[in-house]
Amino acid sequence: MSADIERGITDFVSRILLRYFRNAVALRVSRPQIESAEDFDLLKLHWAVSEPVRDLLTHVSAHPHELQSVLEMRRQIDVARVRGRVDARATVIQRLLTGHPTLTVFYEPIRSFNSGAHHVLIWVLEQAWHLVLRFESLLPVTASYLPRVEETASALEKIRRFDMIHQATKEIVLSRRPGPAALKEASRSRRQIYLHAYRAYRALEDIEAGNQDALSRLLNDTLFGPIPVWQRFELAVGLGVAQAISEALGSPIKLGFLCASNCAPMARVSSYAVYWQSRTDAYAPPVPEPSEAIAQAILTQYTLAIGSDRPDIVVTDERTGDVVALFEVKYFAGEENDGSDALRAAVYQLVRYARCYRTPRNIDELLDRSVIALIRKNTEWIPETKPFGVPWILDFDDISRRKIKSWAQTLVSTTSP
């Protein structure tokens, strides 16, 4: 059961993992949930470092002689005009067959790379080159994607130095894709270089078409994300929050990149911003309670840092700069664990975090819109009518199936002007 939940979390949070540009590990997905045009732009970056493109680059690097044969001269037949090396034997045969005394067979140097299988090969190489450069420009030095991107960029740069490729890239127009005839020619070619180019091109087409099997193959090959499942669950909650607010407002989501610093929101919807593991600028340390003051004094004697409060998910209203909701996220495994201990800990943490953004007099207003997100919940914990000042309790099922919309509607109705 826990393995199924983990896969479900990873599938649900695929859109965020595409933007997770931090130190990470490879992850596997089953049915990734990709939704917007912005996601497909990022998927194309992943395609540029995917297995079909890598196979093409490896083959070209290992068999550079095939590049020479790819751009060979084309056999032509003309009358009284020769634009290349004459094929004397073929010329004699053609003249005997046709009775035409000036008919000539020759091989003309072809310098156009915008037709036939040439077009497929050069288009794939040039498209991958542009995408890899863009991918590299987005990544911080700590991103786990960076080594593969740099390796692909280096291989492409080496290939683009070949004279025939260098000349071809000057003529190629990326907005003019290879046509059906060129793709058919490449797919039926006996040369592996064309076949690899064709497979890479078709992989890109399947990704752009939203083919689920193609998306799964791509992401299982290229996707990185945080190894602890509890971190992925926090990201899933953040995405679910943004989706719920988006539906409540009828406004689109703008997802952000997760880099080394969490100072930027992971998502924006209208004036609402969703932060992950960030205190935000609205944070103010609360006055310590007596027991907290004693603990802080002891830590000071040990020369240890006191530590800092950092909610899992913070929702702000950027019009006012106020924090309008807090989320404490708890992941726990094992069927024997009913989550009651996690719930108790979450209540204490959420109350403490709320003190960082509200005075004791109006803390109930923030807690009333805040949420404890558990991997699973016991319905016996939920009062029939939620009292004011008591946080919501939601679980992964509520978030993944959009049952969080009631919370979002309450948030919007109580904070919108």
- Tell whether the torsion through CA atoms of 272, 273, 279 and 284 is positive or negative: negative
Which parts of the chain sit beneath pLDDT 50? none
Contact between 276 and 258 (Cβ < 8 Å): yes
User: What is the structure's pLDDT at 76?
Assistant: 82
pTM of the model: 0.83
User: What is the structure's pLDDT at 163?
Assistant: 76
Residue 362 per-residue DSSP state: G
User: What is the structure's pLDDT at 306?
Assistant: 74
User: What is the structure's pLDDT at 410?
Assistant: 95
Q: Which domains does the chain have, with CATH numbers?
A: 30-48+113-222 (no CATH), 72-108 (no CATH), 229-415 (3.90.1570)
Token pair of 43, please?
Answer: 């998927």
Cα(356)–Cα(359) distance, integer angstroms: 8
What one-letter code names the amino acid at 406? Answer: S
User: What is the structure's pLDDT at 68?
Assistant: 59
Q: Which residues contact 348 (CB under 8 A, 6 or more apart)?
A: none
Percent share of the chain, pLDDT over 70: 96
Cα(242)–Cα(315) distance, integer angstroms: 9
